[in-house]
């Protein structure tokens, strides 16, 4: 249970700091929208770069929404860890929370990665596909983690059925 407590603590810390980071980022984004003249834009080849196109706003909103789904996935994972710490393991609500964690992580991975890829492809004419070279921030890692939670929910669901069948046998 020592490692479960450590995991619960670290996920709680990640959850709180993620909420703060999202709030700070959204506030800064709103500030940039309200007063774009006060923002110093980088100059490339003698021309200032414009970061206030519709494309950039769309990608930013998708990214913010994806980060929100990630935080909500962390919320459900924290619920799972709380149930585990109460020694509630093979119950239907654990399966439900694991499924919700996986689904929210999957949506977060898609909303954070796919719009940026489309933006790079359509606006910058860059077609790059990297599988796992970005470490923990890669789409494949996020996609894999989301599938892990969904598969873990199925394993727990099968374990619940096996437990119920064992309870019926004498």
Inter-axis angle of helices 54-85 and 92-122, nearest 10: 160
pLDDT digits (tens, 9 = 90+) for 61-93: 899 999 999 999 999 999 999 999 999 999 999
| C-alpha closest to that of 60 among 104, 115, 127 | 115
Q: Nearest-5° angle of CA 122, CA 130, CA 115?
A: 35
Q: Is the pLDDT of residue 38 over 70?
A: no
pTM: 0.82
pLDDT averaged over every residue in the chain: 85
Among 8-12, 43-47, 56-60, 66-70, which is the least confidently predicted range?
A: 43-47
Q: Which of 105-119, 135-149, 151-165 is the most confident on average?
A: 151-165
Whole-angstrom distance, CA of residue 149 vs CA of residue 79 = 13
Among 34-43, 52-61, 75-84, which is the least confidently predicted range?
A: 34-43
| C-alpha atoms less than 13 angstroms from C-alpha of 35 in its C-beta half-sphere | 6
* Model confidence band, residue 11 (pLDDT cutoffs 50, 70, 90): very high
Q: Which residue spans within 50-155 are E strands per DSSP?
A: none
Q: Give me the pLDDT at residue 44, please.
A: 58
- Give the domain ranges of the chain: 2-168
Task: For residue 125, list its beta bridge partners.
Answer: none
Q: Which residues contact 147 (CB under 8 A, 6 or more apart)?
A: 102, 106
The answer to whether 23 and 71 are in contact (CB under 8 A) is no
For residue 116, the surrounding DSSP H or E stretch is helix 92-122
Q: Is the pLDDT of residue 133 over 60?
A: no
CA 9 → CA 82, 84, 107, 127, 159, distances in Å?
Answer: 11, 13, 25, 40, 27
């Amino acid at each position: 249970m020592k490692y479960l407590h450590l995991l619960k603590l670290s996920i709680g810390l990640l959850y709180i700091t993620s909420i703060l980071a999202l709030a700070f980022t959204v506030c800064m984004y709103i500030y940039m929208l309200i007063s774009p003249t006060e923002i110093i834009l980088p100059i490339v080849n003698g021309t200032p770069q414009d970061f206030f196109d519709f494309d950039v706003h769309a990608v930013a909103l998708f990214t913010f929404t994806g980060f929100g789904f990630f935080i909500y996935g962390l919320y459900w994972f924290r619920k799972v860890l709380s149930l585990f710490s109460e020694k509630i393991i093979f119950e239907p609500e654990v399966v439900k929370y694991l499924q919700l964690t996986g689904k929210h992580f999957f949506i977060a991975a898609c909303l954070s990665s796919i719009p940026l890829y489309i933006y790079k492809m359509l606006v910058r004419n860059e077609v790059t596909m990297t599988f796992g070279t970005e470490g923990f921030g890669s789409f494949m890692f996020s996609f894999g983690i989301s599938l892990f939670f969904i598969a873990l929910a199925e394993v727990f669901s099968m374990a619940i059925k096996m437990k119920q069948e064992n309870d019926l046998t004498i």
